């Protein structure tokens, strides 16, 4: 049941039968999608001669698949990858609940129902994308509306909303549906927090009526492996944004936070220590004109690591970039 992340411009042509699912990143021309569940992230891709990049989660055993409640999923004995897309227009909302809040809560309810029915209840990693993440509607920013809906579902479905919660990101796109991909397993994750930051689920009310429901990172254990998922990470110390308006300052601070998370993971990991230059990164940045400066700053910090650069909006208006990462080690000899 080992799990491997494959990133390639040509990965679609190399099917093995063990693909669980993946992501299509960039602005593709129309064309056929692969057979497995695909999260489509329509955002400008930088640093590549291709218009798109593919990421595929591949296991070493054949996968079965299913579809229902707008979720497309694949699984093997101990792992499940799924994608759900919901149109906010299908949710009327109320005076107390926006359409986005309703859609977010319903998406997570459906995810939890699926995982319970499949006997894989442990949500390891979630990738959330929504349109106009910083737009304020009805006096409340859309990201904060999303957080209310997400936490409502966690509590309603009797999942913890703090402590043992999945690694995650929430990124804003120019348009499109509420789009959530998730990876779950048979065993619980080991949550990792950053000693330089207040845990996101403990943010004060200044950052919204409900705190974001995610851990800074997770260690998870497919059979024979230890996988480190680092959540979307930004220039936040404590709970406050630092270096506002300074993209290079924010980039350095973000990498300091990732270094702190890696160090904390290494205190608890079962395999060899993780290194920053072995991680696979996704870098989201708000302004296209900042790309070259960000890439030049990151190059000596990440070494030969694979980096995908996407232009997108970040969950706070004063944040200019966000970085997530993943790495896998083999356990034992």
Active site residues: 322
Q: DSSP secondary-structure letter at 316?
A: S
What are the residues facing 197 on neighbouring strands? 238
Structure tokens at 21: 């699912």
CA-wise closest residue to 178 among 81, 95, 110? 110
CA 74/CA 135 separation, integer angstroms: 34
CA 323/CA 314 separation, integer angstroms: 10
CA-wise closest residue to 236 among 278, 199, 201, 274? 199
CA-wise closest residue to 127 among 85, 181, 175, 73? 181
The residue whose two tokens read 């939890």 is: 112
Structure tokens at 151: 């936490």
Q: What are the C-alpha distances in Å from 135 to residues 6, 127, 175, 247, 296?
A: 34, 20, 12, 21, 31
Structure tokens at 12: 């679609």
CA 258/CA 110 separation, integer angstroms: 31
Helical residues (DSSP H) of 92-238, grouped into ranges: 99-118, 142-156
CA-wise closest residue to 178 among 98, 315, 84? 84
């Amino acid at each position: 049941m080992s799990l491997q992340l494959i990133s390639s411009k040509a990965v679609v042509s190399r099917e093995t039968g063990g693909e669980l699912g993946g992501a299509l990143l960039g602005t593709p021309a129309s064309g056929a999608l692969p057979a497995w569940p695909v999260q489509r992230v329509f955002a400008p891709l930088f640093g590549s001669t291709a218009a798109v990049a593919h990421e595929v989660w591949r296991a070493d055993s054949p996968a079965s698949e299913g579809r229902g409640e707008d979720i497309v999923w694949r699984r093997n004995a101990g792992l499940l990858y799924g994608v759900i897309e919901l149109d906010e227009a299908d949710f009327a909302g109320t005076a107390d609940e926006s359409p986005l809040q309703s859609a977010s809560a319903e998406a997570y309810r459906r995810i939890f129902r699926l995982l319970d029915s499949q006997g894989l209840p442990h949500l390891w990693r979630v990738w959330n994308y929504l349109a106009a993440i910083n737009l304020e509607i009805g006096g409340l920013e859309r990201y904060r509306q999303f957080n209310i809906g997400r936490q409502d579902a966690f509590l309603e479905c009797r999942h913890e909303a703090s402590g043992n919660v999945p690694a995650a990101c929430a990124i804003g796109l120019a348009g499109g549906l509420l789009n959530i991909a998730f990876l779950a397993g048979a065993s619980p994750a080991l949550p990792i927090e950053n000693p330089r930051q207040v845990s996101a689920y403990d943010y004060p009310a200044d950052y919204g009526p409900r705190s974001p429901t995610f851990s800074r990172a997770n260690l998870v254990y497919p059979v024979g492996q230890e996988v480190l998922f680092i959540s979307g990470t930004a220039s936040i110390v404590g709970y406050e944004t630092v270096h506002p308006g300074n993209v290079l300052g924010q980039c350095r601070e973000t990498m300091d936070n990732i270094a702190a998370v890696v160090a904390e993971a290494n205190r608890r990991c079962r395999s060899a220590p993780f290194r920053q230059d072995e991680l696979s990164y996704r870098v989201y940045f708000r302004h296209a004109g900042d790309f070259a400066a960000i890439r030049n700053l990151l190059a000596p910090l990440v070494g030969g690591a694979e980096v995908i650069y996407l232009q997108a909006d970040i969950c706070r208006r004063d944040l200019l970039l966000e970085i997530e990462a993943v790495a896998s080690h083999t356990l034992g000899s």
